[in-house]
Each structure stands twice: as structure tokens, then as C-alpha cells.
Chains A and B, each alone.
Chain A
Amino acid sequence: MRFRILSKSISRRRSRVAIAIIAVIMGASVFGALVMTSMEVRDNVGLEFRQYGANILMIPKTDSISVSIGEIEYGSVTEQRYIEESDLPKIMEIYWAPNILGIAPYLYGMAEVEDHAVILSGVNFSALKIVNPWWNIEGDWVDDDNDSHGALVGITVSEALNLGIGDNFTAKYNNTQNETIQSFTVKGIVDTGGSEDYQIFTKLLDAQLLYDKENKVSIVQVSALCTACPIDVIAEQIEEKIVYVEAKSVKQMVNAEMQILGKVESLMFIVTAIALLASAMGVMTTMTTSVIERQKEIGIMKAIGAENRTIASLFYSEAVIIGVLGGVIGYFVAIVLAQFIGDSVFNSPISPNPVVLLYVLCVSIGVALLASVYPVRRAIFIEPAKVLRGD
């Protein structure tokens, strides 16, 4: 019976209920967009954290010597320097060592592969996997222990050189004294969208042999696990242990993004608060109007025996219906709104998140119920004897 009363009274006052629903949509969509953006960007930033994964980059210090004849400067020459691979275990001697997840050394060089000059990097694949877990690999990672002469090929290289999984290739390197040649088998294709796409990755030892750089690495990525850990202190401590390297944290880049997010969030929080307040006012106004319009009907219901509780539950049920409809529609509007924010502020698409629907529904139903408290009180104070008299 309650359902009949509700459905008939609502369908008779469609436009009024629609106004209340629109009011809820306003608040719900802004709220939903805020939550979606915030969740997605936080996820992205988290991903970026892991992508920069190496929160610290170690490079050898270089001394540059300026070259001049007389007064004329010819620029400077820098001697290519390397980090000793055997020094890397020292990193684990620092105080914050337990927070270090992975240490990934790289040895860069330019090799000649199938008559093309390609950056061929020697790496420790198991460490690489830890510090760069987001790498998109078609095929398999190279197993450091078993796959002798295995290689990962960047997608651009694989397309340019027509190298597929399982194919073999040779890499040549012209040293000053002699030419070294190594042959490799493609184990996987790597696609990161970044500079990795233009490189070939082999085992560190293979590269060291090819380039004749035993025990040498060019740079080291150090990945630290931290939420609030002193990444700069870790970098300093690494510099103290291996004095000839410079350790730089990439925290600042991520921080900048978090700051933008924080600003967008606080702005949207204010907008959301205002939008939800406007929603509540909208619902309250339409509900109050509806109570006034229906006061005779409420009087009749009371006269024939409706308790205040029953009258209140009719109005609160209507509020829940308004909240649910406004919330669901608001969620879909939020998806569009979030896309817009994602595109214009963060340059990244924001995917719809069904969990957000739940939050939006809770908020919109809550707002609708809260906004009904006053109108329901008015309905309860209607005296049938007064509204049914005369006319």
C-alpha cells in the first residue's frame, strides 16, 4: 500500500520531484567527480611513484676540464666515468637499508645491431623487475640465471629491426683496440611508452663483455619503499658510502603533482560542499512546498488514522527515491565531469569507478533525508481539524 501511495503521489507531482532530483544530481555529480578524480590521480601518482620506482638515481660524479688555447675556450671535455659494480653492496650498509626495495644497475652503450646504432643496456633483470614493475612485456622477462644471451627489445627497436620473440641477432661494438661481437635471443618485447622503447636490454655481464667494461655500470636506480620516509636522507647516506656518486631523489617531481592534486581537491571540496548544500536546499524547498500543497491530503490521512510515523515514513521514502535517482544519474554525470577535469587538469583520462557509485548513493540519499527533516516536521504538525475545516 505504501508503494502505491508513493508511486501515485510521485507520478502526480512529476515535475516537482524532478526538480528535487535535479538538485540532488548537482551535488552528487560534483561529489562523484571529486572522488573519481581524486582516486584516479592518487592511483596514477602511486603508479608514478612506482614508475619512478627508483626514487633515487645514482650517477657517477664527473669532473669537467675546460679546454682552451690561449684566451679561446673550446668548451669542456668530460671523461666518461662509471660506478664500480662491486661497490653496490655498500648501499645496503646504510641506516635506511631495510627500506630499500631494489637496486638496478644499468650499463649503457651504443652497439651496432643489424647495421643500426642502438642503445644496448646491460641490466640486472631481477632487480629491473622490482624497480619497474609496470613495464609492459610481451613474451618473458629474461631470467638472469638461466637465459644466457637473452634480451628484451624495445618495441620501437623491434619494429625497426624486424625482431620478434625468439629471433636471434648480433651486436657489434668497436673498441679502440678490437671489435667484439655477441649474439642474443629475443625473449620479450618491452613497451613502456618511454625511452625504453628505443633500447635493447641484455644481462649486465653480457653488456660488460661487449663493451669491455667489466665491473662497470653507468647509473643505478635505487627503489625505496616509503610513504613518509626521508628519501633525501637515504640519498645522502648513499653518497656518503660511495663517495664518487651523486644520488638524486625524484621525489620532487611526484610532490609537484601531489600538490596540484591537493589544490584541485581542496577547490573541489569547497565546490562539493556548496553543491551539496544547494542540493539540500533544493530538496528542502521542493519538499516543503509539497507538504504545503498536500496538507489537506495529510490531514485526511491523519483523520482516518495515519500516525505521524506513517506520514513521516511516506516523506522519507520519497526522499530516498529522490536520493537514489539523483545519485545514480549524478554518478553518470560525474563520469563526464571527471573526464573533463582529467583532460583539462591532469592530462590523463579518468576511468569510471563503480565503487564511487556507492559513495555517491550514500551521500545523495543522506542529503535528501537530511533535507527532508524540516518538511517532515511541518507535515507532522499539520492538524487535521484545521486543514479539513470548511473550504
Chain B
Amino acid sequence: MDYNENTRALDNVNIEVMKGEWVSIMGASGSGKTTLLNIIGCLDTPTSGSVFTKGIKITDLDPKELTRFRRENMGFIFQQFHLVPYLTALENVMLAKYFLHGKGDHEEDARLALERVDMGHRLEHIPAHLSGGEQQRVAVARALANEPEIILADEPTGNLDQKNSWKILELLKSLHDEGHTILLITHEPDIGKMGNRTIRLVDGQVSSPEPLSSSIINENRGESNYE
């Protein structure tokens, strides 16, 4: 998978993720972790190779279909939180619902999502008036807003202190318990261990593919399959 003409960000990556699995992606900076996540999340397309998600070959989808597939199935959490700066916490969550449904405010749903991440008391604050931990919780609520099956988290705790990090990880844990598939990029071995297994990338290649964790019991084998 070429990221662009000059750099080969990912090469000969062949992985498979089961539904309901929590997979940690680890590797040095520049090893292609984010590119891998973006390709799985339909934000990026590989120059060659194919990706199957829920039985759909997403590498064959056109940009519009990719967008639709992404918003229906993927929830993103970024290291930089990436909230829209001039919208309140509530509106940032409503935004995701608006993009999915096209119209309406869905204020109630957004409020519930924020209450779930313990942000019910900060609904009307804009990101600049929230702490990093609070911003990330809003981002988690936004990722959850459309109840996606797959959560893609790119170093979600990279900018947070330990206390806030654990809050976010606890949230992810409960999402995992509910059956969400989680792919999480991290540098921290402790966080990496929270997953069912870890994929290590070195220079765009998978270095030590670990076997599927035996703790995962999944009858829908093959539903999520990233090649």
C-alpha cells in the first residue's frame, strides 16, 4: 500500500480483525499506524490491495459511498480531539448526527451521548473552555453518536494526563464490553495490553502478528477482515 508516490507507508500488511475484538496497534512514529487506521476508517485509500469490512470490499467504493460507509460504521477518536472550535460540546455531537441524518437537530440523542461520557454538565461549553480530558470525552460522545460498530482511536490518550487517560480508556472498555470493535493506536505498552491482541508495525510492515486471542468468541468470523 503506497501512501503516495514517494513514501511507502504500508507494505504487505495482511491482517484480520474479528467483530467485537479490541486490537492495539503499536509501532514507532512513521511506522504507518495512522495510515493503516485511516485506510480502515475510509479516510484514505491504498494504492493497491484490498480491504473488506463487514463483507464489503471498501476499496472498491467511490468517495461518496466511502463517506456514507464511514459515518454509518466508524467512530473516530483523535489524539488532538478535533472538535469544531466554535460549536458547543452539544453541537459537536449533534454535528455527527446531522451528517448522518441530513436534517434535524437530534439534541436529545446528543445530550444522552454526552451524559454517557459524564459530560452532561458541560453541554453548552465550547472546546476552548473545556479541559483536554473533557474535550476528549466530547469526542468520544461524538464518535458514539451514530452508534458505529467500529471505533477507531488514534492515540486517544496521547495528550491527556493519567487520570483523564484512564477515564477515556474506561469508556472504551465499556464500549468494548457492549460489543464494539475497537482499533486503538498507542505508544504505551500498558494501554496496548488492554487489547485482545497487538499488531506491531515496523516500517510499514507487520512485525509480529500475534495469534487471535482465545478470549474472543466470535461467530461472525470474517465479518471484519482487513487485508
Instruction: Name A residues whose Cβ lies closer than 8 Å to a Cβ of B.
Output: 1-2, 4-5, 8-9, 12, 296-297, 299-308, 310, 383-385, 388-389, 391
* CA A2 to CA B103, docked complex, whole Å: 8
- Spot the interface stretch: B77-85, B114-122, B180-188: B77-85
- Does B60 reach chain A (CB closer than 8 Å)? no
Q: A301-B99, A305-B99, A389-B34 are in contact. Are A1 and B94 (CB under 8 A)?
A: yes
Residue in B closest to A389 when the chains form the complex, CB atoms:
B34
A304 near B71: Cβ-Cβ < 8 Å: yes
A296-B82, A391-B80 given; name 20 further pairs at CB < 8 Å.
Answer: A1-B98, A1-B105, A4-B105, A5-B87, A12-B85, A302-B43, A303-B43, A303-B70, A304-B71, A304-B76, A304-B142, A305-B71, A305-B96, A305-B99, A305-B100, A307-B64, A308-B63, A308-B64, A385-B38, A388-B80
- Does B146 reach chain A (CB closer than 8 Å)? yes
B97 to chain A, nearest CB (A): 8
| Interchain residue pairs A-B with the least CB separation, the first 8 | A305-B71, A305-B99, A1-B98, A385-B44, A385-B43, A385-B38, A12-B86, A306-B99
- Does B95 reach chain A (CB closer than 8 Å)? yes
Partner of A305, one of B83, B105, B146: B146
Which A residues touch B38, using CB under 8 A? 385
B43 near A300: Cβ-Cβ < 8 Å: no
- Residues 57-73 of chain B, each 1 if its beta carbon lies under 8 Å from chain A, else 0: 00000011001101110
Q: A304-B142, A305-B96 are in contact. Are A4 and B91 (CB under 8 A)?
A: yes
Q: A305-B100, A389-B34 are in contact. Are A1 and B86 (CB under 8 A)?
A: no
* CA A388 to CA B34, docked complex, whole Å: 10
Total interface residues in chain B, CB < 8 Å? 36
- Does B104 reach chain A (CB closer than 8 Å)? yes
Which A residues touch B64, using CB under 8 A? 307-308
Q: Is the interface of A mostly helix, strand, loop or mixed?
A: helix
Partner of B82, one of A1, A9, A12, A303: A303
B80 near A297: Cβ-Cβ < 8 Å: no
Instruction: State which residues 120-152 of B face A: CB under 8 Å.
Output: 142, 146
* CA A385 to CA B72, docked complex, whole Å: 18
A303 to chain B, nearest CB (A): 5
Which A residues touch B102, using CB under 8 A? 310
- Residues 26-61 of chain B, each 1 if its beta carbon lies under 8 Å from chain A, else 0: 000000001100100101100000000000000000
Which B residues touch A2, using CB under 8 A? 98
* CA A304 to CA B83, docked complex, whole Å: 10
* CA A9 to CA B84, docked complex, whole Å: 10
* CA A267 to CA B68, docked complex, whole Å: 53
Which B residues touch A304, using CB under 8 A? 71, 76, 95-96, 99, 142
Residue in A closest to B72 when the chains form the complex, CB atoms:
A305
Partner of A301, one of B78, B95, B103, B146: B95
* CA A253 to CA B64, docked complex, whole Å: 66
B7 to chain A, nearest CB (A): 13
* CA A308 to CA B34, docked complex, whole Å: 23
A297 near B84: Cβ-Cβ < 8 Å: yes
Which B residues touch A303, using CB under 8 A? 41, 43, 70, 76, 82
A198 to chain B, nearest CB (A): 72
* CA A296 to CA B85, docked complex, whole Å: 10
B184 to chain A, nearest CB (A): 17
Partner of B83, one of A9, A300, A383, A389: A300
Partner of B86, one of A8, A296, A301: A8
A294 to chain B, nearest CB (A): 9
User: Can you offer 26 A-B residue contacts whose CB atoms are under 8 A?
Assistant: A1-B95, A1-B105, A2-B98, A4-B94, A5-B84, A5-B91, A8-B86, A8-B91, A12-B86, A296-B82, A300-B83, A301-B95, A301-B99, A302-B43, A304-B76, A304-B95, A304-B142, A305-B67, A305-B99, A305-B100, A306-B99, A308-B63, A310-B102, A385-B35, A385-B38, A388-B78
Which B residues touch A296, using CB under 8 A? 82
Residue in A closest to B146 when the chains form the complex, CB atoms:
A305
Which A residues touch B96, using CB under 8 A? 304-305
Partner of B85, one of A297, A301, A310: A297
B67 near A307: Cβ-Cβ < 8 Å: yes
Which B residues touch A306, using CB under 8 A? 67, 99
Which B residues touch A391, using CB under 8 A? 80
B113 to chain A, nearest CB (A): 13
A13 to chain B, nearest CB (A): 9
A1 near B104: Cβ-Cβ < 8 Å: yes
* CA A70 to CA B75, docked complex, whole Å: 119
A78 to chain B, nearest CB (A): 87
B144 to chain A, nearest CB (A): 11
Among B71, B82, B91: residue with most chain A CB under 10 A: B82
Which B residues touch A299, using CB under 8 A? 82
Which A residues touch B63, using CB under 8 A? 308
* CA A8 to CA B127, docked complex, whole Å: 14
* CA A310 to CA B76, docked complex, whole Å: 19
* CA A165 to CA B87, docked complex, whole Å: 73
Which B residues touch A389, using CB under 8 A? 34
B82 near A310: Cβ-Cβ < 8 Å: no
